[in-house]
Amino acid sequence: MKRSMKLLTHTVLILVLIFLSACSKEDESLNEKVKAGSKAVEVHRDEFGVPHIYADSMEDLYKAYGYVMAQDRLFQLEMFKRANEGTAAAVFGEEYLAHDEKIRRDGHTDEAIQKMIDEMDPFAKQVIENFSSGIDRYVDEALEDPENKLSKEFAEYDLKPDNWTSIDVLRLYMASMTAFMDQEQELENATIYAKLLDEYDEEKAQAIFNDMVWINDPDAPTSSDSDASIGEGTPFANAKTLDQVAFAGETVSTLREDFVNKRQELGVPLKVGSNAAIIGASKSESGNPIMFGGPQVGFTAPGFIYEVGLHGPDLTIQGSSFIGYPFIMFGATNDFAFTATAGYGDVSDVFEEEVNPENPNEYKFNGEWVEFEKRTESIDVKKDDGEIETVTREFHDSVHGPVIFKDDKHPIAYSKKWAFRGTEADSWAAYLKMNYAKSQDEFATAAREYTMSLNWFYADKNDEIAYYHVGQIPERDERVDWRFPTPGTGEYEWKGFLETEDNPHEVNPERGFVANWNNKPGPNWNTNEQNYMWGADHRNHQFIDRISERNKLTIEEVNEVNYEASFVNLKTRWFKPFLLDVLSEKVDSDRKYEEAHFILEDWNNLNEDKDNDGYYDSPGATIMKAWWDQFFVNVTEEDIGKFYEEMRPFVDHRSGGSSLLSHLVQGDKAALQVENDWLKGRNIEEIARNSFDQVVVELEKEYGVSMKEWSMPIETMTFGAKSLIGVPHGLGDQQPIIFMNRGSENHFVEMTEDGPVGMNITPPGQIGFIKQDGEYSQHYKDQIEMFKNFEYKQMLFEKEDVLDNAVETFEIDFQGK
């Protein structure tokens, strides 16, 4: 018995040792996989210069990603870094000082950003550190060999690249994404309303304003049928009429305009759009879901979007993202395809602070005078003689956030509060988490953790599709009008945040598709001060209508929808049928009416130039544009003519046209009835006819009597006509091409049972490196002609395809680094 026990004990001991040895080897293997990196990373560049990175560890994968991005776009990364940390004036002079001041005013300190990083999910923290380490390694190499590894712009501006840390990577993301969601629109609304009150009585002023910035337009197209709601405020409860409101609004608006211009010169976009569509299995010709995306961030050389393939132990993903972002925003894994658009959710508020007239350093909060927090920033400015002068600026903060306007002559100030402030790192980590999702549920979890305003789209190989309007929305006090600044005295504070899981979303909709072009996410979901963006006349009708009228679609047909949306005259949906009806009443008695009716009816509504003669193919484009401009003026001039330039963006904006005039044209059929008497007893059809008669006279003077000859020159755009800082570049492609209202990148992915197949285009090209002698990469502009012709390149998901298309292969060894 004792011997048996000894044998059993010995056997157990051996098994334990074997188990511990196995565990040790497993832990060692895991450690090697995630941290150590067993061998050099392989990078295969395809025929368009896109890098496909293969690594044995996740650490090396993201280091290599940072390295090759810097290899391709280091000067662009440097510009983004400086733009988003507020150090542009040190390189480009005093004209960038105001830009840097705003960035410093609204931004986070290094210490605050590091604290966010320290509190990140451990894997997200590791990724951000590895990515920045990869960029930094290339910077070190470039500084040692500037002749071969620094792009020409560094020498042109006598600039050396800075080293990079995880703080720089997170700040770049935080500042650029915040800028997309930072409109300061409430103050502009208050300014316009104050001017209307100066011109009209309160009833008329309110009627005009409500017709321009309504509370809710039920006719606005939506991307889901969700019944989610953010509630409504009390109209005009906090609308101010003080003179300083208008002064503050004009001052902030002027500074904002200058800031936007400077960001564009630095190559950092602010004006974003983006469109997307998911075609479900029931609406797809192949029976497989199709994902389409077109992020709109402008056209520059190099572009704002960077493409890559990432292949590591836990990740296989192909797609693209904004420059400097380690996660992929648009693309596919083996399991699902995904994309995103700007959400335009109301995630920020301007607060009106009551300043102590006896002490401008204090403001009232909860019945007490509280001192503004003060901080001083030192900003380096390059003078005309090349010397650096350091200037100091004092910034103020209230309990709500940074003060964006303060005039010590008046007892008033305005500060800004963001719903996502302090959670930017969480959103960064949520996007990364989404890349690793294995199911729709895991994708949804990441979507609900993202606090900034976007729309996310999902399609997988199991035929599931889903849409999520993401972002953290404040629970606001309904006693105030959310279209105007909120009183900051403490009575009307945010009560918390709405549950993100209750945001508009939809999984496998019965209609078989989801379409979005920055429109309203659900019928009762408003964006308050920017509600004029979500009206009955909206550009997303182009996607909804064109997809709905097709029974089933292929990838090629989705591209046809994209083509039509890129060239369509957005006024034609509501106003061309109306104009045709107006013209038809006189076609039998007036030759000009007959000819115009025929031309417009025959026109396909697209501003295209298929014969490449530099003129739009149909004179219908000329007639429609001229008539619309005159019609708009004739309807609105009497009431807003004095404020025409200021108010036209509200009623004739880039998201589609004029919801105001569409309400008038629909008459009693419009779900949202106008409040102001715009017509003054006139007949809308008669105004339309008079407008047509006026433009015929002018067009005959310009083009001649025959309407068939009324061919209007095309609107054009270029890539690379200016450098990232707004000076002639001399490189890239300066040949103008026809303007397209289209994504800066387009991608189409079909999710088959075996995985994704797809195509994309990312103009002007992948690589922005320019040699010191001025020679630029062959991939600097090699996608422009394809983009112009709506042609695409294959997305390479499988390694076999990558190797078949590889034209360059190299290794990066991170051992010991």
Q: Which residue type, as a one-letter code, is found at position 572?
A: T
Q: What is the pLDDT of residue 39?
A: 82
Question: pLDDT confidence of 473, banded at 50, 70, 90?
Answer: very high
The total number of structural domains in the chain stands at: 1
Choose among 403, 414, 356, 408: nearest CA to 189.
414
Q: Are 197 and 259 in contact (CB under 8 A)?
A: no
Query: Is there a domain that residue 406 lies in?
Result: no
Distance CA 759, CA 762 (A): 10
Please tell me the number of Cα atoms within 13 Å of 205 on its side-chain side.
19
Q: Are 233 and 476 in contact (CB under 8 A)?
A: yes
The CA distances from residue 83 to 76, 178, 184, in Å, are: 10, 13, 20
Phi, psi of 330 (to 5 degrees): -140, 115
Q: What is the pLDDT of residue 184?
A: 83
- Per DSSP, the residues of 557-591 read HHHHHHHHHHHB-TTHHHHHHHHHHHHHTTTTT-H
Q: What angle do CA 580, 604, 543 make, to 5 degrees?
A: 105
Q: Which residues are catalytic?
A: 274
Largest CA distance in the chain: 120
Query: Is there a domain that residue 621 lies in?
Result: yes
Q: Are 303 and 717 in contact (CB under 8 A)?
A: no
pLDDT above 80: residue 249:
no
pLDDT above 80: residue 266:
no
Q: Are 208 and 677 in contact (CB under 8 A)?
A: no
pLDDT above 90: residue 739:
yes
**Mean model confidence pLDDT for the chain:** 89
65: left (phi over 0), alpha (psi -120 to 50) or beta: alpha
State which residues form the domain around 655. 570-605+608-714
pLDDT above 50: residue 383:
yes
Query: Is there a domain that residue 140 lies in?
Result: no
Q: What is the pLDDT of residue 2?
A: 34
Q: What is the SS3 assignment for 235?
A: coil
What is the tens place of the pLDDT at every residue in 719-736?
Answer: 864 443 343 333 455 678
Q: What is the pLDDT of residue 261?
A: 57
Task: Using CB atoms within 10 Å of the CB of residue 151, give its burial: 0 to 12 exposed, 13 to 18 middle, 19+ buried.
Answer: buried
Q: What is the SS3 assignment for 507?
A: strand
CATH of the domain at 622: 1.10.1400.10
What is the tens place of the pLDDT at every residue in 664-722?
Answer: 999 999 999 999 999 999 999 999 999 999 999 999 999 999 999 999 999 998 886 44
pLDDT above 80: residue 268:
no
Arithmetic mean of pLDDT, 16-42 = 47
Which of 147-151, 182-186, 303-307, 378-382 is predicted least confidently? 182-186
Q: What is the SS3 assignment for 189?
A: helix
Helix (H) or strand (E) holding 156: helix 152-156
Q: What is the pLDDT of residue 12?
A: 34
Q: What is the pLDDT of residue 803?
A: 98
Distance CA 382, CA 154 (A): 16
Query: Is there a domain that residue 336 lies in?
Result: no
Question: pLDDT confidence of 264, banded at 50, 70, 90?
Answer: low
Q: What is the pLDDT of residue 815?
A: 80
- Per DSSP, the residues of 591-603 read HHHHHHHHHHHH-
Query: Is there a domain that residue 64 lies in?
Result: no
pLDDT above 90: residue 812:
yes
Q: Is the pTM of this model over 0.95?
A: no
Q: Are 550 and 285 in contact (CB under 8 A)?
A: no
Query: Is there a domain that residue 560 lies in?
Result: no
Helices of type H across 641-772: 644-651, 659-666, 684-703
Q: What angle do CA 457, 659, 276 make, to 5 degrees?
A: 15
Q: How many percent of the chain have pLDDT more than 70?
A: 89
Question: pLDDT confidence of 305, banded at 50, 70, 90?
Answer: very high
Q: Exposure string (b/e) for 368-399, b if CB count within 10 Å is 16 or more?
A: eebebeeeebebebbeeeeeeeeeeeebbebb
pLDDT above 80: residue 144:
yes
Look at strands 513-516 and 716-719 and give their pairing: unpaired
Q: What is the pLDDT of residue 191?
A: 87
Q: 10 Å Cβ neighbour count for 479?
A: 13
pLDDT above 60: residue 576:
yes
Choose among 607, 622, 627, 574: nearest CA to 742.
607
pLDDT above 70: residue 1:
no
What spatial distance separates the first Cα and last Cα of the chain, rounded to whole Å?
59
Phi, psi of 124 (to 5 degrees): -60, -40
Alpha-carbon torsion angle 420, 422, 425, 429, nearest 10: -50
pLDDT above 90: residue 554:
yes
What is the tens place of the pLDDT at every residue in 387-445?
Answer: 999 999 999 999 999 999 888 777 889 999 999 999 999 999 999 999 999 999 999 99
Helix, strand, coil in percent for the chain, rounding step 5:
40, 20, 35
Choose among 221, 260, 259, 263: nearest CA to 533.
221
Q: What is the pLDDT of residue 727?
A: 37
Query: Is there a domain that residue 252 lies in?
Result: no
In angstroms, what is the C-alpha Rg of the chain? Answer: 29
What is the tens place of the pLDDT at every residue in 494-509?
Answer: 999 999 999 999 999 9
Helices of type H across 218-315: 243-265
Arithmetic mean of pLDDT, 618-647 = 92
What is the tens place of the pLDDT at every residue in 94-106?
Answer: 988 988 998 999 9
What is the tens place of the pLDDT at every residue in 331-368?
Answer: 999 999 999 999 999 999 999 999 999 999 999 999 99
Q: What is the pLDDT of residue 244?
A: 58
pLDDT above 60: residue 259:
no
Q: What is the pLDDT of residue 17?
A: 33
187: left (phi over 0), alpha (psi -120 to 50) or beta: alpha
Structure tokens at 653: 């904006």
Q: What is the pLDDT of residue 281?
A: 97
339: left (phi over 0), alpha (psi -120 to 50) or beta: beta
Query: Is there a domain that residue 192 lies in?
Result: no
Sign of CA dihedral 18, 24, 27, 33: negative
**Residue tagged 């290599």 (tokens):** 64
Q: Are 127 and 58 in contact (CB under 8 A)?
A: yes
